[in-house]
Structure 1
Amino acid sequence: MAIGKRESLTANDWTSAALDALARGGLGAVAVEPLAKSLGTTKGSFYWHFTDRNALIAAALERWEQRDTDRVIAAVDRTPDVATRLRKLLRLVFTAVVGDPGAGAGSVELALQATATHPLVAPTLARVTERRLAYLTSLFAELGLSQARARDRGLLAYAAFLGHAQLAHSTPDLVPAGRALSSHIDRLIETLTVVED
């Protein structure tokens, strides 16, 4: 990499690289020296933007929360009809976890679950999980379920997402592909969104 490129690295570049490393190798993969090498720079560039590794991890966690929770909810909320909104959300998240095991939306989630007690990860993971569950609960409540049943259904949907992500990550050959995947996701969504009287 040319010197000019190294000088133009930003905190955003480091944060993106850290999030990619986290998705591919877990929290342990967020290490300054290997990241510097992958970015074609030196550790000095890192210390220009961050005080230490924990600051980089915190920035990556914040980016993950914004990208995979805040922006997803904002995008889905643009759909006026609640039933369509819920189906859109479920299709988006179930589809996003399939593909490259180190790059899917579920990869960061699974990496964080594996280090859920880490002092930086625990509060972020708890906040994101509660926010997602609250959003799912609100959608199911808008569909007409009582608050308690809406919370139960939201929890079921979130557990299905985590299980689907784990399956796609650890045994991708078991997850349907192509049209079969689309049909599989349709059945998941249908099962999760049925509102009985």
Structure 2
Amino acid sequence: MKQRLSPIDWIQAAFRALTTGGPQAIRAESIARVLKVSKGSFYWHFKDVPALKQAMLDHWQQVATQDVIDLVESGATDAKARLHLLVRVSTALPDDDYGGGLAEAAIRDWARYDPAASKVVKTIDGQRLNFVETQFLALEFGPRQSTQRATILYAALIGLHQLAHHGLSKPASDLSALLDHLLKS
């Protein structure tokens, strides 16, 4: 019996292709070969490769941003607890189904050359920064301090994931220590 794939199967395979080969590796034929299905299976779910790429970006925005925010908001009752939970959730390694720990870096690299990806990354960065800034505001830091703390925490998260790939950081403990420092008045 032939394997039936869902759009998510294709999206996950496309993320793995992106992570290992860059945006140019997001091709229907090569992904179909990896999935051991015909290229026709791809066209059952997507009009073309740009549609797959947009679906990837939409999925990433939902899973890696909105779902995380929803989880953090429902899992903690106050801003300090939300920030600590956010650090734990955001430093967990992405699922290998999505290319593992390099997925976010691969998306950011893709965004350097692709206007659609760049627009989505900018939107997501704004959502994430706004959420973190809101938590610092709730802890009664001033607007300027809240913006700075949110930016520092978010930038550290991005950089620590890059360093971790080379074994030069432990994002969970390093980011947690930074958060403790940022929470001090």
Structure 2 length as normaliser, TM-score?
0.88
Residues 182, 134 of structure 1: alpha-carbon distance in 2 compared, 3 angstrom cutoff: closer
Aligned twin of 2:78: 81
Q: Work out whether residues 95 and 185 of structure 1, in 8 Å CA contact, stay in contact via their aligned partners in 2.
A: no
The Cα RMSD (Å) is 2.4
Structure 1 counterpart of 2:82, which letter? R
Unpaired segments ≥5 residues, structure 2: none
User: Matched residues in 2 for 1:46 and 1:95: separation?
Assistant: 30
Q: Secondary structure at the match of 1:115?
A: helix
Q: Which runs of 5+ in 1 are unaligned?
A: none
Deviation at 1:138, TM superposition (A): 0.3
Q: Distance in 2 between matches of 1:95 and 1:16?
A: 18
The CA deviation at 1:161 is: 0.6
User: What number of residue pairs does the alignment pair up?
Assistant: 183
Among 87, 90, 95, which residue is 1:93 paired with?
A: 90
* Structure 2 CA distance for partners of 1:9 and 1:96, relative to 1, 3 Å: closer
Equivalent residue number for residue 175 of structure 1 = 169
Map 1:37-56; keep pairs closer than 5 Å.
Answer: 37-56=33-52
- Is residue 2 of structure 2 the alignment partner of residue 14 of structure 1? no
> 1:26 aligned to 2:22?
yes
Q: Which amino acid aligns with 1:109?
A: E
Q: 2:175, 2:93 → 1: CA distance?
A: 11
Is the alpha carbon distance of 1:119 and 1:166 closer, same or farther for their aligned partners in structure 2, counting shifts above 3 Å? Answer: same
Deviation at 1:94, TM superposition (A): 2.6
1:192 paired residue number? 182
For 1:140, the aligned partner's letter is F
Structure 1 counterpart of 2:22, one-letter code: G
Normalising by the residue count of structure 1, what TM-score does the alignment of the two structures yield?
A: 0.83
Residues 135-175 of structure 1, C-alpha deviations (whole Å, 9 max, x = no match):
01100100111112111111111110111011122x1x223
Q: Is the 8 A contact 2:87 2:172 kept in 1?
A: no
Counterparts of 2:173 and 2:154 in 1: how far apart (Å)?
Answer: 20
**Residues 18 and 35 of structure 1 are in contact (CA less than 8 Å); yes or no, is this contact kept in structure 2?**
yes
Matched with 1:60 is 56
Over 3 Å counting, the alpha-carbon distance change for 1:190 and 1:25 in structure 2 is farther
Residue 104 (structure 2) aligned to one of 99, 106, 109: 109
Counterpart contact for 1:94–1:161, Cα < 8 Å:
yes
